[in-house]
Amino acid sequence: MTESIPDQRLLYVSDNLSDEEIQRQVDLYGPLTDSVRALIAATVQTEVDDPDVRRARELVEEATALLRRKAIPGPYGVRWGASGWKRGWGNAADGLRNPVAPPLELHYDADGRVWADFRLGPQYEGPAGLTHGGVSALILDQLLGDTAVAAGRPGMTGTLTLRYRRPTPLGDLHAEARFDRIEGVKAFVRGHIADAEGVTVEAEGIFILPRWAREAVTDQTASTAG
């Protein structure tokens, strides 16, 4: 069955790092990511002229060269430490090391609700002054997928349907989701984004575990049971 497993599965890595080492990396790389996030907003908003823009660019390129002295050649992948601490740090929606991510910090309530409060800066604009509809989709795809995982039904996104009820402002927002139901191999999850006035975007996601992953889960269950 090896030939049916996509290459990207190689990017799911158990590197057995200790919790102490992972925490050290959080403390080292997290602030760098935050600084780059602030730079992104400044790049959108700046009105300084030639000499300052050129100097800023030189500084940015010097920083990039420093960081590139030792770097992985491709995407970050997903890594697990010795205790099971999972690091999807390259994730575009919630990656600790990805300045593109708002980031989204998910909270899991005992009753099954999964939610996040987050703040979107000027780099998430679509229509003038408003959150890009595709950024809302990015946040909801991540939230709904993680809600399926929390319900014990992990999967790849099969279908995502977004209904834009009214404009989503930039700034302080809230998102939440709940597992809805199962139909065969499909897990249905519903959620929304809201501002202070109420819901702005509703979403339904259908998540499906690929066959190779279902087989891996079955194998693991069988060997654990054995």
**Which of the residues 164 through 193 are near its own copies (CB under 8 A)?**
164, 167, 169-170
Stretch that binds its own copies, among 69-77, 177-185, 191-199, 218-226 (CB under 8 A): 69-77
Interface characters, 31-60, with its own copies (x: CB under 8 A): xxx-xx-xxx-xxxxxxxxx-xx-xxx-xx
- The rounded distance, in Å, linking the Cα atoms of 91 and 111 is 26
Query: Closest distance between its own copies and the C-beta of residue 225, in Å?
Result: 27
DSSP string, 99-131: TTS-----EE-TTS-EEEEEEE-GGGBSSTTBB
Count other C-beta atoms under 10 Å from residue 36's C-beta: 16
204: Cβ contacts below 8 Å, ≥ 6 apart? 144, 159, 160, 161, 180, 188, 189, 190
> Any contact of residue 130 with its own copies (CB under 8 A)?
yes
- Within 10 Å of residue 182's Cβ, how many Cβ atoms? 13
The answer to the question of residue 145 lying near its own copies (CB under 8 A) is yes
Taking the CA atoms of residue 131, residue 132, residue 134 and residue 139 in that order, the dihedral angle to the nearest 10 degrees is: -20
163 binds its own copies (CB under 8 A): yes
* DSSP-derived secondary structure letter, 204: E
78 or 185: CB nearest its own copies:
78
Q: Which residues pair with 181 in a beta bridge?
A: 188
Distance between CA atoms of 11 and 81, rounded to whole angstroms?
14
Scanning 14-22, 138-146, 175-183, 186-194 for contacts with its own copies by CB under 8 A, the matching segment is 138-146
Looking at 62-70, 172-180, 181-189, 190-198, which segment touches its own copies (CB under 8 A)?
Answer: 62-70
CA 109, 111, 112: angle at the middle one, nearest 5? 70
Measured from the CB of residue 72, what is the shortest distance to its own copies in angstroms?
5
**Is residue 196 within the footprint of its own copies (CB under 8 A)?**
no
Residue (28 or 182) nearer to its own copies, CB: 28
Please, which residue, 113 or 167, has the CB nearer to its own copies?
Answer: 167
User: For residue 136, what are its two tokens?
Assistant: 């809302």
Considering the complex, what minimum distance in angstroms separates the CB of residue 226 from its own copies?
A: 28
132 binds its own copies (CB under 8 A): yes
CB of 109 to its own copies, least distance (A): 23
Binding residue for its own copies, selected from 69, 181, 183, 198, defined by CB under 8 A: 69
| Site residues (CB under 8 A) for its own copies, limited to 95-124 | 95, 97-100, 122-124
Cβ atoms < 10 Å from Cβ of 139: 27
